[in-house]
Amino acid sequence: MHSEDTLRRLKTIEGHLRGIIRMVEEEAYCIDVIRQVQAVEAALKKVSGQILEGHLNSCVITAVQGSDLAERQRVMKEVLEVFETATKV
């Protein structure tokens, strides 16, 4: 399920987040901290997109091609909920 690239990206993000924590602890310039937070947010969005793409190409396609109507509806509802949540932010 998890590709090595996704895990690598998440570990990189983890390192950047630790750097932001250090910056806050050291009372770094606010704009510098904000820029680093924005970089982490962008990286997380990229990872989220990769995971969603993998889900669409595996679980969703399997459900759509399958004969179980309830499963198709469930999977499509999940995808819609993800998009709804993303647009609320």
Task: Report the CATH superfamily, name and number, of domain 4-88.
Answer: Metal-sensitive repressor, helix protomer (1.20.58.1000)
Structure tokens at 53: 């793409």
Please state the pTM of the whole predicted model.
Answer: 0.81
Q: Give Cα separations from 16 to 2, 8, 36, 74 (angstroms).
A: 21, 13, 8, 36
CA dihedral for 13, 16, 22, 25, sign (positive or negative): negative
**Residue percentage of the chain with pLDDT more than 70:** 97
Summarised one tens digit per residue, pLDDT across range 30-77 is 999 999 999 999 999 999 999 999 999 998 889 889 999 898 999 999
Measured between alpha carbons, how far is 25 from 17 in angstroms, rounded to an integer?
12
